[in-house]
Structure 1
């Protein structure tokens, strides 16, 4: 896979009913979506996930841990996997709770196949955006890590708006040294202006 090629999306399905899993697998295959199916949340947690954009189709009511409880666990763990709930026993209050918790959709069985596919595609798009943001943050962190300690010290003061003379005074170095380090910071961080460097610094603070 090259930097310009993204892996094919994956749909995970957790439902304790084998007939529902089989029907969903056929539906997803009919539109070219790969699926991995599980009969329980434990089976899902015990399996490695593909490094690909994904969405989780999750049954609300299952033996042991419910889908709602499992979704809350994923959120608490910071797992960004978008969730589409399906249920044969849903109600409006449950639907509202699920959507407030960040679910993409809440569909009652028997649901319209197109409505489910539309929700899954929305979930995959959300996850693709999240993955792209993570890639940008990782690249930014690598650029920052490539700075020397002296360059990081200069960058921290440049984005605060200090002049070269002030920075030199704080660090106990010459203005020439500050100018050289400042130029290296701009090159290594890929910034073409001070406002852009400030923006990158803000993004770096969020990433770390």
Structure 2
């Protein structure tokens, strides 16, 4: 395996994500597996990009360690295919034959990092943990927004109207006049909106509604 050195960790970390490794060299795959498992990462190995694409990616925090030069199709082509499929798993390119133009192309297309062999084991581990953490954050944000969207969809038409005017800074009296309602009715709709959106405060409701008015 073309790693400059192996830096053992003092204590193995608990499993915090999956690292997919696509490398045509069996010795490299074995080396990557040993390294990543030593720090508590789950590892899945593939000899070709096609094998990886056919296997699919589970919906968990992960990253892809991808060799640039592969049989059948290049790592850069794999990156393009993933982008077209809407799969944004972070990619860390590794290669023994890289150049500046290749690195720039990969990074412009969204790669998390581009490492040229030989590199230090810790350098790769740092890149992998950073990528997995970023992927975890992205998934959390996406899930939070999906939950928020479901709550917003549960509001009645009136509740949405009232919540929108509240978010715009209008007082109950002003909203009542605009919608032809009584202030009491406006207060009821506002309370229902806060309950359904699970807003802890008026400011919280305003922040939530702002996501749908931008």
TM-score of the aligned structures, taking structure 2 as reference length? 0.82
Match for residue 108 of structure 1 among 81, 103, 116? 116
Q: 1:90 maps to what in 2?
A: 98
Q: 1:3 maps to what in 2?
A: none
Q: 2:205 maps to what in 1?
A: 197
Structure 1 residue 110, shift from structure 2 partner: 2.5
Structure 1 residue 13, shift from structure 2 partner: 0.8
For the 8 Å contact 2:15–2:41, the answer to whether it is kept is: no
How many residues were matched structurally? 201
Match for residue 185 of structure 2 among 158, 177, 187? 177
Q: Secondary structure at the match of 2:130?
A: helix
Gaps of 5+ in 1: 1-5
Query: Deviations for 1:29-60, whole angstroms, at most 9, x for unmatched residues?
Result: 22221111112222222223233211100111
Q: 1:146 maps to what in 2?
A: 154
Structure 1 residue 136, shift from structure 2 partner: 1.6
Structure 1 residue 63, shift from structure 2 partner: 2.5
Which gives a bigger RCO, structure 1 or 2 (Cα 8 Å, sep 6+)? 2
Q: 2:60 maps to what in 1?
A: 52
Alpha-carbon separation, structure 2, partners of 1:155 and 1:49: 39
Alignment of 1:63 with 2:71, yes or no, is yes
Please provide the CA RMSD for this pair. 2.3
Q: 2:129 maps to what in 1?
A: 121
Alignment of 1:13 with 2:12, yes or no, is no
TM-score of the aligned structures, taking structure 1 as reference length? 0.84
Q: Secondary structure at the match of 1:50?
A: coil
For the 8 Å contact 1:7–1:51, the answer to whether it is kept is: no
For the 8 Å contact 2:15–2:42, the answer to whether it is kept is: no
Structure 1 residue 193, shift from structure 2 partner: 4.0
For the 8 Å contact 1:87–1:107, the answer to whether it is kept is: yes
For the 8 Å contact 2:92–2:128, the answer to whether it is kept is: yes
For the 8 Å contact 1:59–1:67, the answer to whether it is kept is: yes
Q: 2:30 maps to what in 1?
A: 22
